[in-house]
Amino acid sequence: MAPQRTKQARKAAFAAFIGTAIEWYDFYIYAFSVTLVFNVLFFPEGTDRLTAIAAGFGAAAVGFFARPLGAVVFGHIGDRFGRRPALVLTLSIMGAATFLIGVLPTYASVGVMAPILLVVLRFLQGLAVGGEWGGAVLMSVEHADERKKTFYGSFTQLGNPAGALMATSLLSLLIGITGEEGYLDFAWRIPFLLSALLVIVGFVVRWTVEESPVFETETAALKAQAVRQRAPLVDALRRNWRTLLLGIGALPVAVGGYYLTTTFATTYATDPSVGLPEILILNALSVASIVELCATVLFGWLGDRIGRKTVIISGSILVAVLGIPMFLTLGGGNVALIFVMFALMRFAMSATYGPMATAMSQMFRPLARYTSISVAYQAAGAIFGGLSPIAATLMFQATGSIWPIIGLLAGMCALGAICLAAAPQYVDDVDETMGAVGVRQRTTQ
């Protein structure tokens, strides 16, 4: 790998990490606020706790359902005009929406308009995230040599735990300083308002990265052949529909399992029947995020050596096994074990999530790749990420038992492993010997 290309690969990976971390910080601030804030301040006083939380998760789900639309919109921009402009737009929209949530009036001030405005801004968040992940993945993966694609691709995945760590650490700090009443009074707005500063940093970093060499090569080839590219969504559906379905099916653990083991776990642990303090769970999630930050790169490195699919499927099996002791430990109330189980679960989740960026990217050929990877990932996010915490909350409300949720998690693990095993993987061979970058395709296991 030429020194200049190595430098660009590192720069692209860093930019993908920074931008994605900021976007996931914004997304998780909202997700955790469903349980901590919105169920109290954005719904009528006296609403049953679990009912309000389920409604809050419903509002959160709007963001997930907006993500496929964002995948189409920004996938079109990314496949037609370049990865970089699409990513700058997603970051700007996410930052603006999150900042505006921080200045929203509550239900006590404007009544039903409060949750309506919350849903609208959540929709804009989802729209931005819908185009963010696919573009960030492609910037890091397409700049990298084949032998290190999974490693560099994992830097995009680092944005998720980094964003979660920033969110949970800041929430824990503010609750510790102000107390729960003080936090609900005003301090809950601070994490949303801080998003504006983070977005400025991410904007500067992202704008300095060169365009993907794979995108530039594909665009140049089409121009040389005088071929007019169809709409990227049309190409994605015509050429890749089978792989799109397999890609969606490969992702229930990476997107939905994460929310079961974080946001729903917070709901369950702080339920009166369990009675754990909110700040305890936030601290446990912060420690788990640190573990995930380290493990994600480790599994990215390992994926280049023993195979991406091997690492992800092994991680899925481990997640299914750990689901039982994790949720039972929350019910037992042993603080040390709670920290250990959260950390172990996130370690296992890292194996399903870290290499997934490159696995998803290489399921598709370069033509309409941004749209294809984004649609698959965000459709899975809408189905598994948007619905799993709602389903888990309603199942727990109906049964009073954690076992149906454990079974749901295990079923998601099985589906993901089967679909990933059946999905194709392509290799981008980059040839720089002729003074230009060329892309060839061959299937790999």
| Domain spans in the chain, listed from the N-terminal domain onward | 3-203+229-443
Q: What residues pair up with 439 in beta bridges, in sequence order?
A: 430
Asked whether the predicted pLDDT for residue 433 surpasses 70, the reply is: no
Per-residue confidence at 246, pLDDT binned at 50, 70, 90? very high
Chain position carrying tokens 């060499």: 213
The secondary structure of 138-197, three-state, reads HHHHHCCCHHHHHHHHHHHHHHHHHHHHHHHHHHHHHHHHHHHHHHHHCHHHHHHHCHHH
What would you measure as the largest C-alpha separation in the chain, in angstroms? Answer: 71
Asked whether the predicted pLDDT for residue 194 surpasses 80, the reply is: yes
Amino acid code (one letter) for 72: V
Chain position carrying tokens 């365009």: 211
pLDDT in tens, 364-399: 887 788 899 999 998 898 889 878 888 898 899 899
What local confidence, expressed as pLDDT, does residue 1 receive?
53
Q: Of the given ranges (10-19, 242-251, 397-406), which has the lowest mean pLDDT? A: 10-19
Choose the CATH number for 3-203+229-443 among 1.20.1250.20, 1.20.1260.10, 3.10.580.10, 1.10.1240.10. 1.20.1250.20
Give the span between the Cα atoms of 89 and 128, in whole angstroms: 8
What local confidence, expressed as pLDDT, does residue 221 receive?
67
Q: Within 13 Å, how many C-alpha atoms sit on residue 104's CB side?
A: 29
What local confidence, expressed as pLDDT, does residue 275 receive?
86
Q: Mean pLDDT throughout 424-441?
A: 56
Asked whether the predicted pLDDT for residue 281 surpasses 60, the reply is: yes
Per-residue confidence at 441, pLDDT binned at 50, 70, 90? very low
Asked whether the predicted pLDDT for residue 55 surpasses 70, the reply is: yes
Q: Mean pLDDT throughout 11-21?
A: 84
Asked whether the predicted pLDDT for residue 339 surpasses 90, the reply is: yes
What local confidence, expressed as pLDDT, does residue 355 receive?
94
Average of per-residue pLDDT values in the chain: 84
pTM, two decimals, is: 0.79
Query: Buried (b) or exposed (e) across 44-63, using 16+ Cβ within 10 A?
Result: eeeeeebebbbbbbbbbbbb
